[in-house]
Amino acid sequence: MESGAEFCYTGYEPFANGRFEETIDPPDPSQLFPEIRFQNVLGPSSMFLVHRSTFNSLGGFDERLGASCEDWEFAVRLARTSRSVKVKQTLMRYNYHSSNASFKYRNLLQKELLIENTLLAGTVGLHRMITQRKVRAAIYARSAWGARTNGDRATSYALQSIFQWPLPSFLPKRFKTLLVELSDL
């Protein structure tokens, strides 16, 4: 690993039920934090390697979260406090399917709201309030997309996301999701 780096990470190729989607290229280390607060830009924990001493000093995964967002919660703590290096070459493929925890959007919503304090760590005052609104907008947007993927109604999640952060420059797909939902009524 590059001198002084405590973890490294790579891009990955997600496959939905065996069908290639797109290559995910995570941001460079200088952009990793705070972007990772709003979505897990590192992907599953198999996409990064961590020195054992760093892993242990951060307390490892929060096992109370189960197989849902424990990797994201750990990655936020890791990115916030540790020096990283990005492997330029995409090294991983990740196959996900309807039985993955990511598709259980109601459970994921509850777990993501539980890690809100980790996502907001280091913020204070007005900056914390603004960041909290954006974090919640992102969480509810993922629930809306999860509901749509599962064939469920996503209107309330999309509305909650837009209520939390109404500016369309942040996760603009939220507005498309709401329009599609409203046109289906």
What integer pLDDT is reported at residue 27 of this predicted model? 92
Q: Does 129 lie in the same domain as 91?
A: no
Has residue 79 been placed in a domain? yes
Domain count, the chain: 2
* Secondary structure (3-state) at 93: strand
* Rounded alpha-carbon distances, angstroms, from residue 173 to 34, 50, 64, 168, 180: 20, 33, 31, 8, 11
- Do residue 86 and residue 141 come from a single domain? no
Q: pLDDT tens for residues 32-78? A: 998 999 999 988 888 899 999 999 999 999 988 877 789 999 999 99
The answer on 69 and 12 residing in a single domain is yes
Contact by Cβ (8 Å): 9, 48: yes
> What is the structure's pLDDT at 2?
64
* pLDDT string in tens for the chain (185-residue length): 667 899 999 999 988 878 898 898 999 999 999 899 999 998 888 889 999 999 999 999 998 887 778 999 999 999 999 999 999 999 988 887 777 776 789 999 999 999 999 999 999 999 999 999 999 999 999 999 989 888 899 999 999 999 999 999 999 999 999 999 999 87
Burial class of residue 19 in the structure, from the number of CB atoms within 10 Å of its CB (0-12 exposed, 13-18 middle, 19+ buried):
exposed
Same domain, 83 and 156: no
Q: What is the pLDDT of residue 46?
A: 83
| Domain co-membership, 49 together with 88 | yes
Would you say residue 1 lies in a domain? Answer: no
> Considering the domain boundaries, does residue 104 fall inside one?
no
Say if residue 28 is in the same domain as residue 91: yes
Question: Is position 169 within any domain?
Answer: yes
Q: Are residues 13 and 82 in the same domain?
A: yes
β pairing state of 48-50 and 84-96: unpaired
Which tokens go with 58?
A: 């951060």
Question: Is the residue at 24 inside a domain?
Answer: yes
pLDDT at res. 45: 85
**CA nearest neighbour of 138 among 37, 10, 14, 21:** 37
Among positive and negative, which fits the CA dihedral 27, 34, 40, 162?
negative
- Pairing relation of β-strands 7-16 and 84-96? parallel
Same domain, 69 and 133: no
Residue 165's domain spans which residues? 124-183
Q: Same domain, yes or no, for 78 and 36?
A: yes
Q: Do 59 and 131 belong together in one domain? A: no
118 within a domain of the structure (yes/no): no
| Buried residues in 108-145 as b, exposed as e (16+ CB within 10 A) | bbebbeebeebbbeebeeeeeeebbebbbbbbbbbbbb
For residues 86 and 49, state if they share a domain.
yes
Task: Please classify residue 177 by burial: count the beta carbons closer than 10 Å to its beta carbon, then call 0-12 exposed, 13-18 middle and 19+ buried.
Answer: buried
Is 102 inside any structural domain? no
What is the full DSSP assignment across 8-34?
A: EEEEEEEEETTEE---B-PPPHHHHHH
CA atoms of 127 and 6, how far apart (whole Å): 28
In a domain, 87, yes or no: yes
